[in-house]
Amino acid sequence: MKFGIIGSGKVGQTLATALLTEGHEVMLGTRDVSNPGVISWRINNPTGLVGYLVEAAAFGEGIVLAVKALKL
């Protein structure tokens, strides 16, 4: 299955890596594709994809929202 992960922090990266390990196609969606953490994740996960948020949303058959919660 193809998953788009919206959010490229620790939670998003951990979920993306786990899904790749299970044989799924994954695109990690981020606001900044040049972020060193995102680049590092991509190097360590060569079958994973990285794109902007809208690209990850369009890529996935399933979408995972992995963003910080707002404090009210």
Global pTM? Answer: 0.91
Query: Structural domain boundaries of the chain?
Result: 2-65
Per-residue pLDDT tens for 23-71? 999 999 999 999 999 999 999 999 999 999 999 999 999 999 999 887 8
* DSSP line for the chain: -EEEEE--SHHHHHHHHHHHHTT-EEEEEES-TT-HHHHHHHHH-TT-EEEEHHHHHHH-SEEEE--PPPP-
